[in-house]
Every structure is written in structure tokens, then in C-alpha cells.
Amino acid sequence: MKLTVGTSQGIYAVDGRLGGAAPKLVLACRGVKAIIATSSGLLAGTRAGIYRADAAGLQWSSSGLQEYGVRQINRTADNDLIVGTAPAAVFKSSDEGLNWQEFESFASAPEAQTWCLPSDPPRPAQACAMVTHASDPNRLWVGVEVGGIMHSADGGTEWTFGLPGDNPDIHTMVAQPDDPDTLFVSTGYGRFDGLAEMVEGNAGVFRSTDAGAHWSYVWRGVTPRYARPMCIDSRPPYALTVASTPLPGSRYQLEGGAQAMLFQSLDQGESWQSLCDAAHTPSPVNFAALTPSPALVGGVLVGSDNGEIWSVSPSGVWKQLASGLPSVLSIHAH
């Protein structure tokens, strides 16, 4: 198993075998939040736009959107590419990322006037979560941090706005593989005017079974509550895995570490079990990247803020695949 790994400082080629060769830097850049396969190679979303490479992922070149930080890349049912960016905008490519067209209706929606990251001073919001419908290329959902969820049923001409549990702090969104109208979203404490009270219900995972029209909170009794990375396995039983921390800024450099945890549900969020071993209960390092393992049903590949990559089995067995990297932000296995 070969890994193309996005980090805070660039893209690395990683030998995913235990005891494999040391990671190799193949592109120096900042903030590589997304990597996806195309018909001819790979695309990566970075703080300075899109980069493309051949299938080996060793030679990279710029491919547009240099003025944007690309936070998410997804593919529609008819093979167009959709990206979400910071500042919050949505773009489409029908030629595998060579050219991009903005959905101007998204950024000009009335709700967009309130979107922001509640720092001092406020910073622009970012479109960091996205789901495209498995069979209908005109349907897509875009989650904004901090803003809410925008849904289009007509290919991005018009949008409807929603808030899961009145929470606008959207981090990651996925769809149930065998039921594309069932959506899951991970959320935090961010609000337009600051931070919400850190109590149950104000951060965590929400589920919708009607394409985002209504949401229910499925994180009850789970701590820590601040949920960010999330992935779902496309193979039955469709394991849903989520990483969480106590605070928005949790990281390994803090006294006491990040205090992060990793949870998994096999019943669409009705119940959760920890995937953490003794060394990660709670984890001193934060989990910034999370993707299903192609080698193991229900297993995940986890990237940490101190530059480690782990393979985690459904029974909670952790095996380190790499270390010594910058903070790991995205993982693509091939």
C-alpha cells in the first residue's frame, strides 16, 4: 500500500508497509487538506490552490485556484470535480481539474453575509465539508465553517440553507453509502459571535435521514465532544469513524497533550465504541487526518499533528506506518 500524504508543509510519498522506506517530500507547499484520484493521476488541494500529478504522485504542477485555500475535493455522479475553498466558495471542473468555474450563486447567497470564523478580528469562513449525491449529479451539500449547510438540488443554481441543531460550525460531512439521503456532520463550538457553551448538544455529530431537512444529535454521552475529522467506509457494515477533542485548539504541544479520542459506529450513530488503545486513551497527539483503510474493512488510517501515520483496526490495534512528518492533514491510499 502506497500513501500520498498531505501535510502542513507539503506532499509526501509514504511507503505504507511496516518498516518501509522513509517518507519522501515530493512537493513543498502549505496546508494540503485534500487529495483525490482522477482518471489520469492525483489532485491535491492546498493553501495555494490545486496541484495535479500523474498516478505515481511524484511530479506535481499547479492547476488553478491559486488565490484560494482548497479545503475539500469531491466528485459528482457524472464525474465533475467540485471543490470547497477558503474564503468560502465552490468551484466545478468538467475536465479533471484543468479549468474551474465558480458557483457564483453560492457566495452570493443571503446567508453568506453572516459567515465568518469568530476570531478577533473575524476571519473569512471556509467551505470545508462537502457531499455529492451518489446517483444524482445535480444534488450537493456544502458545509461552511462557520456558516451552516447549503444544499443545491439543481447543480448549484439555487441553494437552501440549514443548521444541524442550530450549529453553524460545520467541519466534515459524509453520506451513508447505501442510502445517500442519510448524512452525518461533525461540528464544533464556533458561533458567529464567539464560542458556544461547552456542553452536550453544542458540538459533536448530527445525523439527517431526509437529505438535510431535519437533523438529530447522535453524540449523546460521548466525550470529548468537539468533533472534526470523520470518514465512512464504503464497504458493509459502513463503519463511521470520528475523532474528537475537548477544545478547538487541542494539540500535542499543550500541557497534557491534545486529549483526543477516536470513536466508531456500526449502526449509523446509534452507538459508539472507542478505537483507542492504551497509549491513545486519551491520545496526547491530535488526529488531523482520517480515511478508511483499503486493506481492512472497518479499519482507518490516522494522521496526527505531530507527524505520525497509524493504521487502526476495528478492534483497536494500532500500527505505526510513518513518523517524522510535518502535521498530517490528508491521506490518500493507492
Q: What average pLDDT does the chain have? A: 96
For range 211-217, the mean pLDDT: 97
For range 230-239, the mean pLDDT: 98
Taking the C-alpha atoms of residue 198 and residue 250, their distance in angstroms, rounded to an integer, is 14
pLDDT band at 19 (very low <50, low <70, confident <90, very high): low
Decide if 148 is inside a domain: yes
Give the pairing type, strands 2-7 and 10-15.
antiparallel
Please tell me the predicted confidence (pLDDT) of residue 22.
87
Decide if 199 is inside a domain: yes
Give me the percent of the chain exceeding a pLDDT of 70: 99
Please tell me the predicted confidence (pLDDT) of residue 119.
87
Decide if 105 is inside a domain: yes
For range 168-197, the mean pLDDT: 97
Residue 21 has pLDDT above 80, yes or no: no
Decide if 218 is inside a domain: yes
Question: Sheet harboring 24-28: ordered strands across?
Answer: 24-28, 10-15, 2-7, 328-333
Q: Give exposure, 236-275, as e/b (b: 16+ Cβ within 10 Å).
A: eebbbbbbbbbbeebbbeeeebbbbbbbbbbebbeebeeb
Residue 45 has pLDDT above 80, yes or no: yes
Provide the number of structural domains found in the chain. Answer: 1
pTM above 0.95, yes or no: yes
Decide if 36 is inside a domain: no
Decide if 33 is inside a domain: no
Decide if 332 is inside a domain: no
Please tell me the predicted confidence (pLDDT) of residue 248.
93
The model's pLDDT over 90-145, given as tens digits with 9 standing for 90+, comes to 999 999 999 999 999 999 999 999 999 998 888 999 999 999 999 999 999 999 99
Range of the domain at 197: 76-318
Residue 334 has pLDDT above 90, yes or no: no
Instruction: Give the domain CATH number at 234.
Output: 2.130.10.10
For range 254-260, the mean pLDDT: 97
Please say whether the beta carbons of 245 and 262 come within 8 A: no
Please say whether the beta carbons of 305 and 286 come within 8 A: yes
Taking the C-alpha atoms of residue 130 and residue 128, their distance in angstroms, rounded to an integer, is 7
